[in-house]
């Protein structure tokens, strides 16, 4: 299972699912970690708000994600 968790909530769920299914986990980590200010979705100028408005701003490890998914993993973000 591939997952990304900025605040830990998705990580908790991913661990639960992996434990229940016996699956492996792969955590996607941003090149530049998010700060609390970055995650403030109520601020139009925050990083997550800008990335939501323009997905080309999102830095992700697409090659690694696709390689893992080709091996049969499910993607959970």
Domain membership flag for residue 19: yes
Question: Is this model's pTM higher than 0.85 or not?
Answer: no
For the chain, how many helices (H) and strands (E)? Answer: 3, 2
Supply the pLDDT for residue 32. 84
Structural tokens at position 58: 């999102």
Domain membership flag for residue 55: yes
Q: What are phi and psi of 2, to 5 degrees?
A: -105, 135
Q: Which segments in the chain show pLDDT lower than 50?
A: 77
Domain count, the chain: 1
Distance between CA atoms of 1 and 76, rounded to whole angstroms? 7
Domain boundaries, position 46:
2-70
6: CATH: 3.40.50.360
Domain membership flag for residue 47: yes
Domain membership flag for residue 75: no
């Amino acid at each position: 299972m591939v997952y990304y968790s900025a605040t830990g909530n998705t990580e908790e769920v991913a661990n639960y699912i992996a434990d229940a299914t016996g699956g492996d986990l792969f955590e996607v980590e941003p090149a530049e970690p998010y700060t609390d200010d970055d995650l403030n979705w109520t601020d139009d100028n925050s990083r997550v708000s800008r990335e939501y408005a323009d997905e080309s701003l999102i830095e992700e490890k697409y090659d690694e994600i696709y390689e893992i998914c080709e091996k049969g993993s499910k993607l959970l973000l």
